[in-house]
Amino acid sequence: MQKTWEEIDHYARQWIKEAGTRIRATFAEKLTVETKSHRNDLVTNVDRETERFFIENIRKTFPHHHVLGEEGFGDNITTLEGVVWIIDPIDGTMNFVHQQRNFAISIGVFENGVGMLGYVYDVVQDELYAARKGEGAFLNEKPLAPLEPVSVSEAIISLNATWVTENKRIDPSVLAPLVKDARGTRSYGSAALEMAYVAAGRLDAYITMRLSPWDFAGGLVLVQEVGGIVTNLYGEPLRLLEKNSVFVSKPGLHEEILQKYIHS
């Protein structure tokens, strides 16, 4: 029989909490750290074990669902048809390795391309940000309030310093004025947490020039559920099977940044 979204949500939360317990237990062990696409792109045995843990559980419980996982243990996804889980077992691996904090498990579950469930779990703080389409978003048991408009002059914007220095993706002079005009800027090193912080009102916007689907899938559902806006830097919808620039923001602020800073 087809499982309901309530049941899928129940299993997802259970697996996320269990994976979190396993990850916390590894803090006492020695990590195996390797590099992937470049010397700062890290992966550990814990990233791989955590992804395998989710995929084994999903395949056993929901054999008709598909999985796109960062570490490659999932399916070779070319279409968004049916139910697709998009998983980043550890978002913020550099923080995981260097700081043992400021990282998260991120999961988005989509049905025919529509975000149905979104989770970002801050493993160290034991904070689960979770959303179900049409049912609101929560931080642990607490409902998250709908996001209110704010202006740049009163906004805290999360942005990596890379994008205002010489880089391959954007002229530094585009975002530098925004950095000057904003009330403050932050950079946490975990896209999923930064999106969850926007959903929770701890940040007003998050801008980055290149993320993979697993970095933003969970946060996308969360932010949309509280009335936030998630697009690429040019105001277009994100493509779930590609890399995108990502611009997450409270309403009002999104239009102000697009009009005054990006399109100027």
Joined tokens for residue 66: 């598909």
Give yes or no for residue 93 binding ligand IPD (CB under 6 A). yes
Give yes or no for residue 244 binding ligand IPD (CB under 6 A). no
User: Which of 32/112 has CB closer to ligand IPD?
Assistant: 32
Give yes or no for residue 9 binding ligand IPD (CB under 6 A). no
Give yes or no for residue 102 binding ligand IPD (CB under 6 A). no
Give the shortest CB-94-to-ligand IPD separation in angstroms.
6
Contact partner at residue 122 from ligand IPD, Ca ion, none, CB < 5 to 8 Å by partner kind? none
Determine whether the annotation assigns residue 70 to a binding site.
Answer: yes
Give the shortest CB-193-to-Ca ion separation in angstroms.
10
Determine whether the annotation assigns residue 181 to a binding site.
Answer: no
Kindly list the distances between the CA atom of residue 182 and the CA atoms of 98, 205, 208, in Å, as whole numbers in the listed order: 29, 10, 16
- DSSP one-letter code for 174: H
* Phi, psi (degrees; rounded to nearest 5) at 96: -55, -45
Give the shortest CB-190-to-ligand IPD separation in angstroms.
5
Vertex 144, ends 151 and 10: CA angle to 5°? 145
Give yes or no for residue 51 binding ligand IPD (CB under 6 A). no
Joined tokens for residue 211: 């993320």
Task: For residue 150, give every residue at least 6 positions away whose Cβ sits within 8 Å of its Cβ, in sequence order, or none.
Answer: 204, 250, 252, 253
Closest CA to 108 of 96, 121, 126, 127: 121
| 131 within 8 A of 137, measured Cβ to Cβ | yes
Give yes or no for residue 122 binding ligand IPD (CB under 6 A). no
Determine whether the annotation assigns residue 90 to a binding site.
Answer: yes
Site string for ligand IPD, 172-201 (x = CB under 6 A): -----------------xxx----------
Give yes or no for residue 44 binding ligand IPD (CB under 6 A). no
Give the shortest CB-160-to-ligand IPD separation in angstroms.
6
Q: Long-range contacts: 255-261, Cβ < 8 Å, 24+?
A: 256/151, 256/152, 257/152, 257/178, 257/205, 257/207, 258/234, 260/152, 261/174, 261/175, 261/177, 261/178
**Distance between CA atoms of 191 and 194, rounded to whole angstroms?**
5
* Helix (H) or strand (E) run with residue 24 in it: helix 5-25
Chain residues binding Ca ion by CB under 5 A are: 70, 88, 90-91, 215
Figure out which of the listed residues 9, 51, 91, 204 binds ligand IPD, where binding follows CB under 6 A: 91
CA 74 to chain centre: 18
Segment interacting with ligand IPD, rule: CB under 6 A, options 10-18, 207-215, 233-241, 255-263: 207-215
Q: Which residues contribute to the site for ligand IPD (CB under 6 A)?
A: 88, 91-93, 160, 189-191, 208, 211, 215
- Binding residues, as ranges, are 70, 88, 90-91, 215
- Binding residues for Mg(2+), as ranges, are 70, 88, 90-91, 215
